[in-house]
Amino acid sequence: MRQSKNRIEELEGILRDGGVRVTRQRAAILKILAEAEDHPDASELHRRAKEIDATVSLSTVYRTLSALEQQGVVQRHAFENATARFETADAPHHDHLIDLDTGAVIEFRSDKIEQLQAEIAAELGYDLVRHRLELYCRKRKD
């Protein structure tokens, strides 16, 4: 996309700073991730990455995703009855609405809900570390 090149170089920088080597395979996976507008799973990422570098193996996709997740560059989501799906962690925090019929994922954010969650945790004597909020929905029939 438009300036994905910069974004990719930025991500590669983050990796190098984190002591993670930027290999041919990782560069390919990173590019695919940066350009993805959806929430692909590991095998879909593998399929796409192979178009850039045919040598990328599924193992490497998984290993790279784990490394990227640890660097905070990628987020992993385990939606109901499905394989893990991934997205770059550049956008601000948001939750997900999953279309039960198509599997499509829509991002949304509600500051009210975020705040209520923290309040609930506090009331119960806890500090909220992270949360998971997923809405499983069907397109409204008119």
Partner DNA sequence: ATGCAAATGAGAACCATTTGCAACTAGCTA
Partner DNA sequence: TAGCTAGTTGCAAATGGTTCTCATTTGCAT
Q: Which residues bind a copy of itself (CB under 8 A)?
A: 78, 80, 97, 99-100, 106, 108, 110, 112-113, 116-117, 120-122, 124-141
Question: What is d(CA 70, CA 61) in angstroms, rounded to the nearest whole number?
Answer: 14
Which of DNA, a copy of itself, none sits in contact with 125, Cβ below 5 to 8 A by type? a copy of itself
State which residue, 7 or 85, has the beta carbon closest to DNA. Answer: 85
Alpha helices in 18-106 (DSSP H): 24-35, 42-52, 58-70
Side-chain half-sphere CA neighbours of 63 within 13 A = 11
Write down the least CB distance from residue 105 to DNA, Å: 15
- Chain positions contacting DNA, by CB under 7 A: 16, 19-26, 41-43, 55-60, 62-64, 66-67, 78, 83-84
Q: Among 88, 110, 84, which residue's Cα sits nearest to residue 97?
A: 110
Question: What is d(CA 67, CA 70) in angstroms, rounded to the nearest whole number?
Answer: 5
Which of a copy of itself, DNA, none sits in contact with 42, Cβ below 5 to 8 A by type? DNA
State which residue, 21 or 130, has the beta carbon closest to DNA. Answer: 21
Rounded to 10 deg, the angle between the 24-35 and 4-17 helix axes is: 130
Which of DNA, a copy of itself, none sits in contact with 59, Cβ below 5 to 8 A by type? DNA
Pairing of strands 85-88, 105-108: unpaired
Write down the least CB distance from residue 61 to a copy of itself, Å: 20
